[in-house]
Chain A
Amino acid sequence: MEKKVAVYICKGCDIGASLDVGALSKVATDECNAAICRDHECLCGDAGREMIKQDVREGANALVVAACSPRFMTDVFMFDGCRTERVNLREHVVWSHEPNDEDTQMLADDYLRMGVARAKKAEVPDSFEAEINKTVLVVGGGVTGMTAALDAAGAGYEVVLVEREEELGGWAGKFKYRFPLSAPYRELELVDLKPRIEAVESNERIKVYKGATVGRIDGQPGQFDVAVKANGSSAEFRVGAIVQATGWKPYDASKLGHLGYGRCPNVITNVEMEELIASGRINRPSDGKPARRIAFIQCAGSRDKEHLPYCSGVCCRVTIKQAMVARQYDSETEAYVLYKDIRTPGQYEDFYRRAQEDSGIFFTKAEVVGVEETGEHNLQVEAKDTLLGDRILVEADLVVLATGMVPMAADGEAIRRFVDAEAVVAKGEAGAQLEAAKKTVEELQHVEGTSILNLTYRQGPDLPMLKYDFPDSHFICFPYETRRTSIYTAGCVRAPNDSLVSMEDGSGAALKAIQSLELAAKGEAVHPRWGDASFPDFFLQRCTQCKRCTEECPFGTLNEDVKGTPQPNITRCRRCGICMGACPERIISFKDYSVDIISSMIKSVEIPDEFEEKPRLLGLICENDAYPTLDTAGLKRIRHSAFIRFIPVRCLGSVNVVWIADALSRGFDGILLVGCKSGDDYQCHFIRGSELMGTRSDNIREKLTQLALEEERVRLEQLPISDYERLPQIINEFAEQIEEIGLNPFK
């Protein structure tokens, strides 16, 4: 369809008073050849909108709205069948620069040029249609999985529930008592999962496979083909989304020899204690005599760099529960709790208080040094740094180690590495590669056969693991999200939880799964580019099978054929554009976001010649965090250098190196890249944007040196969204630095 570009300049919010709007209009019409250019006192008002609508009716289809930040009035400037390009004259120009200044006007002119350049090239995405199956697969039938299944079924979706054991219920089903799940959070509760299990098993929408495991999952969201092995037989079916609620396993206590486990028969774990509780009497394993003095060692292998570095969050309450049960079974029992800190969050403080009131439960902070037998398998616990101010010895009949939770998850990426290395070894070709592969096989031996989901993804058969081996993808902002689209984790596989939080997780993950299915049915992306209908297009004739895209995609979107050609799975894609940034052949593009579009924007900027001594800097900034940060700085009227031009990018990982080369050859003097924090506690919406850019900018630096350019001309910064005071400082420092270095000799 023929493009008819229409430019609208808003004069409200200080824009009209700070800029020469007439001159700006001339840039649009005379220089950029826009068919229409109009200005208005208040473009977002009814009259302004009506003015635009009139033009749309008369054929305008590529709209450029030069007004406020695209983060405001987003819906107001959306018109059916048109693409609207927003030029941020308010936050990024008039609110952050000297009004009616030559440089400010030049900045506005350039932003308008860039906007029009993009409007000319960007297209409205085609809609894609695929047949979307809306069944939800829930893996794991504990409290979390059952809740997810019931909630998804309750919302009208078909559910398949796969449980490894012969009965539903998981860990909670094995426990006799639990700590209270409702106010006043003081007394023990008996566990009764029967009603929930019956509700699941009798629900018409829920198909339950017990004693079953997932053999294979092929395909993509909306089209997952699942093979299940259940008690010798097998079943195959299609689902749309997956909730992984595989729960937890106790930390391996055999590694806790220093606390007597395995060495002394009367040292047991809290899980083994649950078995004693379920048996109705707490007798010592060594001689079956009643255990009247029970020492609980908290954080056994938890919050310990040698073992589990994290806190499982529930062991304190479990110990308090077990001590109370022991006292309830036999009032002569005494329980000694040796803790690092008592962590009973929220209302559970009252549960702790309740236990404290009991004269037979003794608490002290302590660092346990060791556990020794004193004869007849009696035990003596030695502890230091206690509240009593001494090293202490506590005599006990039974020692219970409060071990933490380990997620029931497999490390998909490690399994993939293992399999690849095995393949290399099997091939047997000599060389350094073989040695490395042999080493990898040895190191990763433990992951063999651990897969749970058995996904046929190029990047591995299970979810990638993140901090502490939990497969969560964004633990702060977006719970339940993983790095595999439409696969959500819930319960203890996501984070150590109690059953109350696990049930909440089950509901949350079920809702997320439903959301992803409905979006997939519309051909739209899920979080974080929610509702984005664009998708990457691969011009495969020119593909060199370098595999960068298949390896760098954070979401495992791309599979490979035997040669290594990428095979896109559109519904897995989150539209971050990292593949586009990675591709050296520049064959990946979106309709409204491509290497060419951004290059055109870069080239549209007018570069003053060297005698004007006005440097030009290019800022490629993450639209999720850095761009809003700059908006905030404008809102706070914090000034920054008027020599920089910003282009928002979907993710810093989507920055293709060619843009930097284009900018430098065009005459830009410096390039500032601003992304999100990387590392274990990353803040990147797409996991590894800044990290990937970091790797690529190493190559860029090499290039710069080859071109005899100073490597300081390209700078990479990581910025939290809250640092609006820091960003203008970064810009100004960079501008000063470039002035010191001098102008680009390629001008």
Chain B
Amino acid sequence: MSEALLLKPDRKFVEEIVASGGDDLKKCFQCATCSVACEVSTGRTPFPRKEMIWAQWGLKDRLMADPDIWLCHQCNDCSKKCPRGARPGDVLAAVRKQAVQYHSAPRFLGNLVNRTKYFPLLYLALPAILLALALTIREPLEQILPLGEPHEALYAAFFPHWLLIGFYASFTGLAFIGAVVGVVRFWRSMRVADAASDSGPPALGVVPSVVRTLRSILFHDKFAKCTDQASRRWTHLLAFYGFVALFVVTIWATIDLYLMPVFGVDSLYPFDLLHPMKLVANVGGVVLVVGCVKAITDRRRSESSATTAFDSLFVWLLLGVGVTGFLTEVFRLAIEGAGQSGLTSTAYFTYFVHLVLVFGLLVYLPYSKFAHLIYRTVALVYAEHSGRNSDGRQLLPAGDSRPQLESHADKALEAANA
């Protein structure tokens, strides 16, 4: 028998979970209907039942080191079936929010970025000031640095590419360091927790685990298991692939602009509307905007999930980036194509707003809801690596057992409701 665990109940942590969307946490009486109802829960370490009791007792260290909270897609199949209304799905979302803050480096940033009252300051004022500062040092720098001919594109005249890339590269670079530290902290805590529970040797090497995880993410196949809100998978796929497309295009544009000339290929920037990259960008943008709008309307319509400021800020930010991006493009086409030069200042303003929003999205990535990109991926890799996901170790027999169990839970629930 393992050694007794000294409990240090953290009442503050319980209260934080309750305050950040897990209001019903304390109602749980550990019947485990949730773990049976959950389609992505694994046999070896079923969740969210254990997370519920950990959260009730304020066992923060355990939850922060728990990869399982990241395997949940908050479809709320469990919350729907919970006989006591404890809403485990929402509790896990609240725990994930706490985890993002807990692992973030520097930690104060994680706490600040998620405080609603600092939203205007951090997401609008601060990036605007920083961008304005960048604009003011543009000319002195242009005189010092050998930058060659300025690009003739419309927006480059306002905010030149070298400044844009320099500005974002340095800030996202800092964020990247923060993210790496967060990942290391997270990975280490999972390892420590697993070592304490004698979980045995890793089941799979890290590299194959990463490959498997990426394949899983590309198809969203785990997400497909959630039944209650199956459409959310498509919403997420739209937003995900929209973002990926735009990210790829941005990288390509940078390569095209700075690397291609080195190899003696003329830069094609700005791309023609029919250029494959431009097509990818526009389609990606549309897909992103549609995904975001769908996410917002879905959440509005659905009563089955709690939506916190933590969630909605992210979606609105993403939508804002997409919409201002398109507006920027439309103004450029209007000015360059239709000669509407009177729109120039409006176009610059829109572009500026776009840049401000992009700052919030990318630089705060490791500290905001967007951090799920990192932590979920890491948790999935860890799950593959440690074997907690593997079918071979499932407690339930293979085959039809899951649907039977589910229908059993359904029947029990129907009986309870009747």
Interface residues of A (CB under 8 A from B): 334, 336, 342, 353, 356-360, 362-365, 382, 384, 387-395
Contacts and interface: CB of A to CB of B under 8 A. Distances in A.
Contact of A389 (B15, B50, B58): B50
A353 B25 CA distance: 11
Contacts of B84: 353
A393 B54 CA distance: 14
Contacts of B57: 362, 364, 388
A463 B129 CA distance: 89
Nearest to B30: A387
A298 to B, nearest CB: 14
Interface string B1-34: 1111111010100110010000000110110000
B27 A357 contact: yes
B56 interface: yes
A364 B9 CA distance: 12
A600 B6 CA distance: 79
B395 to A, nearest CB: 14
Interface centre among B7, B26, B56, B58 (most CB of A within 10 A): B7
B181 interface: no
A392 B2 contact: no
A392 B4 contact: yes
Contact of B14 (A342, A359, A395): A359
Contact of A359 (B3, B11, B53): B11
Nearest to B53: A387
B3 A391 contact: yes
Contacts of B59: 388
Nearest to B54: A388
Interface string B161-199: 000000000000000000000000000000000000000
A363 B5 contact: no
Given A353-B27, A356-B27, A365-B30, A390 B11 contact: no
A365 B56 CA distance: 13
Interface in B27-58: 27, 29-30, 50, 53-54, 56-58
A336 B7 CA distance: 11
A359 B1 contact: no
Nearest to B16: A359
A388 to B, nearest CB: 6
Given A356-B27, A365-B30, A393 B7 contact: yes
Q: For this complex, into which size category does the number of interface residues on chain B fall?
A: 20 to 34
A393 B5 contact: yes
Given A336-B7, A359-B26, A395-B7, 19 more contacts: A334-B9, A334-B11, A353-B27, A356-B29, A357-B26, A359-B11, A359-B18, A362-B56, A362-B58, A363-B29, A382-B4, A389-B50, A391-B5, A392-B4, A392-B6, A392-B7, A393-B5, A393-B6, A393-B7
Given A364-B57, A387-B53, A388-B54, A336 B5 contact: no
22 contacts: A353-B84, A356-B26, A356-B29, A358-B26, A359-B11, A359-B26, A360-B11, A362-B57, A364-B57, A365-B30, A384-B1, A388-B5, A388-B7, A388-B53, A388-B54, A388-B59, A390-B4, A390-B5, A391-B5, A392-B5, A393-B5, A393-B6
Contacts of A393: 4-7
A342 B4 contact: no
A257 B295 CA distance: 60
10 nearest CB pairs, A to B: A391-B4, A390-B5, A393-B6, A359-B14, A356-B26, A393-B4, A387-B53, A387-B30, A359-B15, A392-B5
Nearest to B49: A387
Contacts of A365: 30
A636 B26 CA distance: 53
B6 A395 contact: yes
Contacts of A364: 53, 57
Contacts of A342: 29
A334 B57 CA distance: 11
Contacts of A356: 26-27, 29
Contacts of A394: 7
Interface centre among A387, A393, A394 (most CB of B within 10 A): A387
Contacts of B6: 392-393, 395
Nearest to B50: A389
A80 B2 CA distance: 81
B169 to A, nearest CB: 45
Contacts of A363: 29, 56
A155 B30 CA distance: 49
Nearest to A382: B4
A390 to B, nearest CB: 4
A359 B50 CA distance: 18
A388 B52 CA distance: 10
Contacts of B1: 384, 391
A506 to B, nearest CB: 34
A331 B27 CA distance: 20
Interface string B353-388: 000000000000000000000000000000000000
A388 B61 CA distance: 14
Nearest to B196: A390
Nearest to B45: A389
Contacts of B5: 388, 390-393
Contacts of B30: 365, 387
A387 B53 CA distance: 7
A353 B27 CA distance: 6
A336 B56 CA distance: 11
Contacts of B56: 362-363
A84 to B, nearest CB: 49
A235 to B, nearest CB: 54
A389 B57 CA distance: 13
B9 A362 contact: yes
Contacts of A392: 4-7
Contacts of B15: 359
Contacts of B58: 362
A177 B57 CA distance: 27
A382 B6 CA distance: 9
B85 to A, nearest CB: 9
A390 B53 contact: no
Nearest to B52: A387
Nearest to B57: A362
B91 to A, nearest CB: 13
A357 B54 CA distance: 15
A381 to B, nearest CB: 10
B184 to A, nearest CB: 27
Interface in B49-98: 50, 53-54, 56-59, 84
A334 to B, nearest CB: 6
B231 to A, nearest CB: 33
Nearest to B23: A357
B361 to A, nearest CB: 34
Nearest to A293: B9
A9 B365 CA distance: 97
Contacts of B7: 336, 388, 392-395
Contacts of B18: 359
Contacts of A388: 5, 7, 50, 53-54, 57, 59
Contacts of A382: 4
A336 B53 contact: no
Nearest to B62: A388
A359 B30 CA distance: 16
Contacts of B4: 382, 390-393
Contacts of A384: 1
B207 to A, nearest CB: 32
A328 to B, nearest CB: 16
Contacts of B26: 356-359
Nearest to A355: B26
A171 B125 CA distance: 66
Contacts of B53: 364, 387-388
A601 B125 CA distance: 108
A384 B50 CA distance: 16
Contacts of A387: 30, 53
Contacts of A353: 27, 84
